Amino acid sequence: MHLRQLFGILLQRARLALGVGGAVFLVTVTAFALKTPTYTSTGAIVIDPKGENLAQAQQPQGYVSPADVNAVDTQVEILRSDALAERVVRRLKLYNDPEFNPSQSTRLFGLIPPKAPIANPSPRLVARVASNLLHDMSVHRADQTYVVYVSASSISPQKAATLTNVYMDEYLAKQLDDKIAQVSRANHELGASLEKMRRDAEVAEANVQEYKNAHGLMSAEGATMAEQEVTNLNTQIAAAKAEHAEKAARLAAAESQLRSGGGGQDVGAALGSETIKDLRKREAELSVKLAQLKTDFTDDYPDVKRTQAQLKDVRAEIQTEINRIMSSLKADATAAAGRESSLLASRGQAAGGIASNNQALVGLVGLQQRADAAKAIYDAYLNRAKEVAAEGGIQQADAQISSQAAVPSAPSSPNMKLGAVLALLAGLISASAAIIMAEFWDKHLRSRLDVERELGVAFAGVLPDFRSVKPKNLRGPDAQPQEYLVSHPFSGFSEAFRNLRAFLMVSAHDDDAKLIAITSAGPREGKSLTAFCLARTLALSGSRVCLVDCDLRQRGVSKLIGMRDVGLVEVVQDKIPLSEALVHDPKSNCFVLPAAGKSIPYDLFSNPDTDEVLRDLCNQFDYVILDAPPILGVADARILAGKADRVLYLVQWNKTPLRAAQSAVDILRECGADVVGALLTKVNVKGQARYGYGDSSDYYGYFKNYYIANA
């Protein structure tokens, strides 16, 4: 989609976008404004790792070694732990605070008082309150330094400062308690002999290596050779199963479609066959030809029999091609099944090697576990012995509070600036979503591409809405579109009908295609005005034209020229001569056969006398235009469409529902009508140009002055 089209869609949906976006913006801003204010207080802790040696002590102040980075990050995670939060909860008895324990709050708008204070909280309650506390706590490190900031938020500024300071105090107390417990455990564990542990670890590792050499448990990248072979086969088997399933599914779907009675016409592989497409195209051409021949001749006519035979042969070829495709699908499914079976057999052979390795691994597991355990125990005791020997003042906390939390003077939330930005972003997203959804659900026709793609009918042109091209100062009789067409022959409005005339001349298959029916899916789509303007355009070009008002209910053309007492009904039923019923249009030299008569006759257009009248008109005129009723509402339109040599189908721009337009086209084709093209009527050329679909109305702005200058 081009930028111009996007801009056009935005303009067309501007009201919807502004409405939805504005509503979401107001709701979001209001939600931020109604939030309860919260206050945030922040304190700072400096971590002081005790593992520094003399070389580290000589580094510049503020330097953090790589080893210390992990140590500081570890302390940050301890500050975020549930255990530390539970210590704070117990110390401040936050389980009695409604802010962190909602069950203690006043209920039912103050009608029921809060519960009594809790003296001995359960561990589950403490854990739940601690989780609520952590939700309002923030712990983060200041870049790559030893400084860690601790923040607490609360609806009370004093409570926020108290929470932060107590949280930092409990962290230091917990760290000291952990160190004391750690020293006690280390002194108890280091009584055993380290030398014995070292010898046990060496012996266990040697036993593992000897066992591997004796049983041939060679491996690469953590897996034995047999395991790698089975892994590769499993990958190939998975692909073969997928291929087999796919081809079997395609075969089953095709067989199901055959059983359904469609004769294979809807088989997916057949639908994609170019040969079948060509044969079906030939079948359609022969069907159309046969329908046309049957219209003019009986079934015994030689051309009719020859065409029927050709149609039968083409259908037989289609069925033969479908049978060939079904045979190909069966062969593909059989080949895929064979490949899958072969791979499964190979995997069974390779699995035997794994079984023997697995039997040997049973003995290796115990040896490896003993070796790992012995080495881990030895390393742990050795490292612990070094730490205890190197550290002296282990009973001192490795952190200190560098900045106590102060009582905040202003709330930290809600942040109205951030709220406004988020509200604006939400409004823009909502407006965009509304435009996308509106465009997605908009099932109207607006362009040449829409007509050709959705209706499958040739595009005959664009007829502008007269109000969108009419000069602003135009008054009097010329303000009517049918009069403006004559008085301004070089205007853009007149040029649209000359383009339609050129389309009819190009689309004519032979000189006898004189009878042209104009219809639409529903009423009020510009059908009568289009028929009258087209008749005048053809007459002004020198053609002999007769316009017949066949809409016996609305009589749109008859109203445009003024109602008459004699018309089509009287010519057919009362045998009044055509010369007395035809109305001459002196401005264009065309003739109009109005739909006069006070009543609507029953099934007028199935009357053979009507066919005789139409033949007489075709003998007298170059073009006979039938202003037919809407195809979806009146049966007369179907009869007229079948009788006409050509049918022009009108669709109102951005108005006619897509399903209605498609249904009307289907009905016309069922009637055997030759729908030569579809017209977009009542097109707002300025609105159409905003969409940028590439139709002729897109360029109205370029030719506007050109048309007016020569009008």
Residue 412 CA to residue 408 CA, distance in Å, equals: 9
Segments forming the whole domain that contains residue 491: 465-709
Concatenated DSSP letters of 198-243: HHHHHHHHHHHHHHHHHHT--EETTEEHHHHHHHHHHHHHHHHHHH
pLDDT range class, residue 311, cuts 50, 70, 90 = confident
Residue 386's contacts (CB-CB under 8 Å, 6 or more residues apart) are none
Residue 534 CA to residue 545 CA, distance in Å, equals: 10
Model pLDDT, residue 13: 63
Tell which of 337, 362, 390 closes a domain: 390
Q: Which residue has the tokens 């003024």?
A: 562
Of 550, 555, 684, 562, nearest to 625 (Cα)? Answer: 550
Model pLDDT, residue 629: 94
Residue 99 and residue 146 in one domain: yes
Residue 487 and residue 619 in one domain: yes
Residue 699 has pLDDT above 50, yes or no: no
Summarised one tens digit per residue, pLDDT across range 193-218 is 667 777 777 787 777 777 766 765 65
450 in a structural domain: no
Residue 169 has pLDDT above 60, yes or no: yes
Of 493, 512, 532, nearest to 625 (Cα)? Answer: 532
Residue 156 and residue 236 in one domain: no
Residue 475 has pLDDT above 90, yes or no: no
457 in a structural domain: no
pLDDT range class, residue 1, cuts 50, 70, 90 = very low
Looking at per-residue pLDDT, the higher value among 455 and 211 belongs to 455
Residue 477, domain CATH:
3.40.50.300
* Total-model pTM: 0.46
700 in a structural domain: yes
Residue 58 CA to residue 471 CA, distance in Å, equals: 90
Residue 632 and residue 693 in one domain: yes
Backbone CA torsion sign across 172, 177, 183, 186: negative
Tell which of 339, 374, 390 closes a domain: 390
What are the DSSP E strand ranges found in 429-486?
A: 459-464
45 in a structural domain: yes
C-alpha separations of 643 from 206, 298, 513, 515, 671 in Å: 102, 17, 11, 8, 9
| Other C-beta atoms lying within 10 Å of the C-beta of residue 531 | 29
- How many domains, the chain? 3
Model pLDDT, residue 533: 96
649 in a structural domain: yes
Residue 104 has pLDDT above 60, yes or no: yes
Residue 147 has pLDDT above 80, yes or no: yes
Lowest mean pLDDT among 292-296, 675-679, 690-694: 690-694
Residue 497 and residue 638 in one domain: yes
90 in a structural domain: yes
Model pLDDT, residue 681: 93
Residue 266 has pLDDT above 70, yes or no: no
Work out the mean pLDDT of the chain and round it to a whole number: 80
Q: Quick one: three-class SS letters along 374-414? A: HHHHHHHHHHHHHHHHHCCCCCCCCEEEEECCCCCCCCCEC
The one-character DSSP state at 651 is: E
Summarised one tens digit per residue, pLDDT across range 512-542 is 789 999 999 999 999 999 999 999 999 999 9
C-alpha separations of 702 from 319, 466, 522, 696 in Å: 54, 18, 33, 11
Q: Which residue has the tokens 């008085």?
A: 487
611 in a structural domain: yes
**Mean pLDDT value across residues 644-660:** 92
Residue 183 and residue 225 in one domain: no
Looking at per-residue pLDDT, the higher value among 444 and 682 belongs to 682
Residue 130 and residue 75 in one domain: yes
* 196-211 burial code (b ≥16 CB/10 A, e <16): ebbebbeebbebbeeb
Model pLDDT, residue 54: 36
pLDDT range class, residue 397, cuts 50, 70, 90 = confident
Residue 272 and residue 146 in one domain: no
Model pLDDT, residue 42: 94
Residue 534 and residue 631 in one domain: yes
Residue 233 and residue 373 in one domain: yes
Residue 679 CA to residue 464 CA, distance in Å, equals: 10
Quick one: the chain helix, strand, coil %, rounded to 5? 60, 10, 25
Residue 111 and residue 150 in one domain: yes
Summarised one tens digit per residue, pLDDT across range 597-622 is 666 787 899 999 999 999 999 999 99
Of 152, 100, 104, nearest to 126 (Cα)? Answer: 100
Residue 677 and residue 545 in one domain: yes
658 in a structural domain: yes
Tell which of 390, 414, 439 closes a domain: 390
